[in-house]
Chain A
Amino acid sequence: MPIRTEPVTINLGPQHPSTHGVFRMRITFDGEIILDVEPIFGYLHRGSEKLAEERTYTQVITLTDRLDYVSSMSNNLAYVLAVEKLAGINPPERAMYMRVMVAELQRIVSHLVATGFFLNDLGALATPLMYCFREREKILEMFEMLCGARITLSYMRVGGIFQDTPPEFWPVLSDFLDYMPGYIDEYERLITGNEILLSRTKGTGILSAETAINSSISGPVLRASGVNWDLRKADPYDVYDRMEFDVPLGTVGDNYDRYLMRIAEMRQSLRIIEQCADQIEDGPIKANVPALVRPPIGDAYGHVEAPKGELGFYMVSDGSIAPYRFKIRSPSLLNLSALRDMLVGCKLADMIVTFGSIDINMGEVDR
């Protein structure tokens, strides 16, 4: 007589160590093999879009900080770009360089966090995480110099940035540019060639380029699948068109590619920061923008290549001091749309790793 078996359903989350926040998945298992995944979100819904419609254009900046709270700079940047497009404001040169520079620093922060937690999900007892956080701390200290905050920065303003750089910022930055490549090499030496990492990540959680495009996935996850799409090249904003950098691409689209992708992007970010620091000149840091911005009636969509993918803000203005309609296109949410395709058929342990390699942030998924 064959043994009667039945699938087991597990509610993974909202309280679970590796769902990176309050994400919940209802997973059906056959033993350890995943039969079905149903993602459920909304546990961190704060109504950011509706809240933004009640605030002036400058006040909304603080709301964008809290979307993806490990990359506030990129959120700020995407938002102010959208408002500038809507109101027809051109920020001064120095502000644009500063924006690009801090956005790239923020990308390094976000990729460090992503890599650290990805390796933590692999079971490396928080050791790589702590190493990554060591460098993150350095960048956060620089942010503190620039604007006094570490996480929720609100550094950017419509038409420029909040304040000019303090003189002590530049030596710290140049020190950082000196030692950071060495630290990235250290991560690579420590773990990239590790047999366990290789056997766990190679060939698991494969996302084909076709599926990735059809699921409107963006950012490092898309590029790891081999699709050459980076908004910094495809639709350059601020001063990215003057920067020289490469877009690394993956070949297979598995977890290993996504891990390598982030390491490679950190190196490219360093290149961009170096060029910014070379090219930046003295000048005004903010365009002449009134305290209450009143864009003309119309709509605009501003988007940036945020660390996690394409972050866009769509706004409709009715000529008043607050946006009439506000919509966030968040990369974290859309990157989850191929989750089921990536996970069905793999094992529980691979599921956690794949989920970690997508690198979502619940603040952005639920908004």
Chain B
Amino acid sequence: MEPIYVPFREANSFYRNLYDLFAEWSFWGVSPIPDWLAYFLAGFLIVFAVVNTVVIVTTIGTWVERRLIGRFQSRLGPNRWGPWGLLTPVADAVKLLSKEDTRPEGVDRWVFNLAPLVFIVSPLLVFAVIPFGKNTYIANLNIGILFIIAVTTVPTIAMFMAGWASGNRYSLFGAMRGVAQLVSYEVPMVLSIVGVLLLAGSLSLVDIVEAQRIPFILLQPLGFFIFLLAISAEMNRSPFDIVEADSELVAGFHTEYSGMKWGTFQLAEFIAPFGAASIITTLFLKGWDGPLLPSHLWFFLKVCFVWFVLLWIRATLPRLRVDQIMGLAWKFLFPLGILNLFITAAEVLVWETPTTVQLWAMVGINWVIAIVCLVAVSHLMSDKLSTRAPLAPFPVRVRRDLREVR
């Protein structure tokens, strides 16, 4: 039974220890757990631990998010249940679980019920390949980044399932917008990742972290910028939240959902920023690596920081219109992504194994290019985006004779 499991087992020390524990456990000389069961048990425990950690962190994250957004909006935020409102997520969950699960007439039952499940699977799957710390990951896939790109597109299918099956036109509008947005933003996102891949020379996330002598955000500022925008769009976060634009489409594709099905959508949407923050940390911020503190803590702190930035954007910006979002992807991010790819490829070609000085020269060149590009873009749009001169007040001719009319 050895060959199939080998790459997975060797990949992760925690995982191998657990596997060995089950496989080598003997009972009067007889090993009661067969190899395949040991493999399954070890995998199950690890996945169980990771999924639950993610969900619990997310649950606390919802509380933090609501408190922080409260502060951003100069109000208090939830503070009734438990100290500082810490039990609010529990109250939310109890309320959602005990709520009646209504299903409107005329919905496509199977697709309707399946959509929340499909929707929540993908943000969880992202964590399968993310290295949480030194030697801590579920799987070291040699195509890890491809796996992430594939998995992050799955919610769109769920979105369309929900939108179509609901039989609600708001839902359908939301689903259509979601698909269009995904198709547009997948391209710049992949292009921005390719720059990182060229520098790292590997598709495995574990290798990418180890290849970062300095964080890739320094070497790939333009790529980071594009990736941040694209991943925000993929997650339907503000300013790209047209899919469930509450002021336009009520709740977009999950308008018709209630109870825990709606809760599942919400949970997935709260997990997604953590997933995105993990990807950004891994690709651009040197992953778990950092001085002094343990690697897991470093990873967590970096993820929290990126998550906070995403939250900040969400609390600040208004929403773009659907055609403007597509325009941004195809007219600006796509060319910038290609430019970034060419520059990075040229640099990798010239300096195959850069010395420290060459590395910092690369940083300088890339930052100058990034700033020039962004300034040029903002100048291109400046005629459209200039503020209007203050309204000129006019002296008004006073017509007193109106008083005498009546």
Chain A interface (Cβ within 8 Å of chain B)? Answer: 8, 10, 16-18, 32, 85, 119-127, 129-131, 134, 191-200, 202, 228, 230, 233-236, 241, 246-252, 256-257, 260-261, 264, 300-301, 347-350, 352
Contact = CB atoms under 8 A, between A and B. Distances in A.
Interface stretch (B25-33, B264-272, B310-318): B310-318
A200 B394 contact: no
A347 B75 contact: no
Contacts of B396: 228, 230, 233-234, 247
Contact of B72 (A127, A191, A228): A127
A156 to B, nearest CB: 20
Given A199-B385, A264-B391, 8 more contacts: A18-B248, A124-B319, A127-B315, A199-B324, A234-B402, A252-B388, A257-B391, A352-B247
Given A199-B320, A249-B393, A348-B173, A192 B387 contact: yes
B24 interface: no
Given A85-B406, A300-B406, A124 B317 contact: yes
B318 A197 contact: yes
Contacts of A199: 320-321, 324, 381, 384-385
A252 B391 CA distance: 11
22 contacts: A18-B248, A123-B246, A123-B319, A124-B316, A127-B72, A195-B378, A196-B320, A199-B381, A200-B321, A200-B324, A202-B388, A230-B396, A234-B402, A235-B403, A249-B393, A251-B391, A257-B391, A260-B391, A264-B391, A347-B323, A348-B249, A349-B321
A318 B82 CA distance: 64
A131 B71 CA distance: 11
Given A125-B315, A127-B316, A234 B388 contact: no
Contact of A196 (B247, B314, B317, B406): B317
Contacts of A17: 246-247, 250
Given A123-B241, A126-B73, A349-B321, A264 B390 contact: yes
Contact of B250 (A16, A119, A197, A241): A16
Contacts of A18: 247-248
Nearest to A31: B176
B213 interface: no
Contacts of A257: 388, 391
Interface string B279-312: 0000000000000000000000000000000000
Contacts of A122: 247, 318-319
Contacts of A241: 398, 400
B223 interface: no
A226 to B, nearest CB: 10
The 8 lowest CB-CB distance pairs between A and B, nearest first, are A123-B319, A246-B393, A130-B73, A233-B396, A122-B318, A248-B391, A124-B318, A18-B247
Contacts of A123: 238-239, 241, 245-248, 318-319
Interface string B247-267: 111100000000000000000
A30 B249 CA distance: 16
Contacts of B391: 248-251, 257, 260-261, 264
B73 A120 contact: no
Q: Which of B74, B391, B394 has the most CB of A within 10 A?
A: B391
B392 interface: yes
A120 B318 CA distance: 8
B320 A200 contact: yes
Contact of B388 (A85, A125, A130, A256): A256
Contacts of B386: 198
A311 to B, nearest CB: 16
B318 A194 contact: yes
A251 B390 CA distance: 10
B399 interface: yes
B242 interface: yes
Nearest to A235: B402
Contact of A131 (B73, B246, B248, B321): B73
B319 A196 contact: yes
Interface string B165-181: 00001100100000000
Contacts of A134: 74
Contacts of A228: 394, 396
Interface in B363-402: 378, 381, 384-388, 390-396, 398-400, 402
A249 B239 contact: no
A263 to B, nearest CB: 9
B247 A10 contact: no
B247 A249 contact: no
A250 B256 CA distance: 42
B388 A260 contact: yes
B69 interface: yes
A107 B250 CA distance: 30
B60 interface: no
B238 A125 contact: yes
B322 interface: yes
A12 B174 CA distance: 15
Nearest to A32: B322
Given A195-B385, A199-B384, A241-B398, A248 B318 contact: no
Q: Which of A127, A131, A193, A194 has the most CB of B within 10 A?
A: A127
A8 B378 CA distance: 37
A127 B73 contact: yes
A352 B317 contact: no
A264 B388 CA distance: 13
A41 to B, nearest CB: 20
A241 B402 CA distance: 13
A123 B240 CA distance: 10
Interface string B310-341: 00001111111111100000000000000000
A195 B396 CA distance: 33
A3 to B, nearest CB: 14
Given A85-B406, A134-B74, A125 B314 contact: yes
Interface in B60-81: 69, 72-75
B22 to A, nearest CB: 48
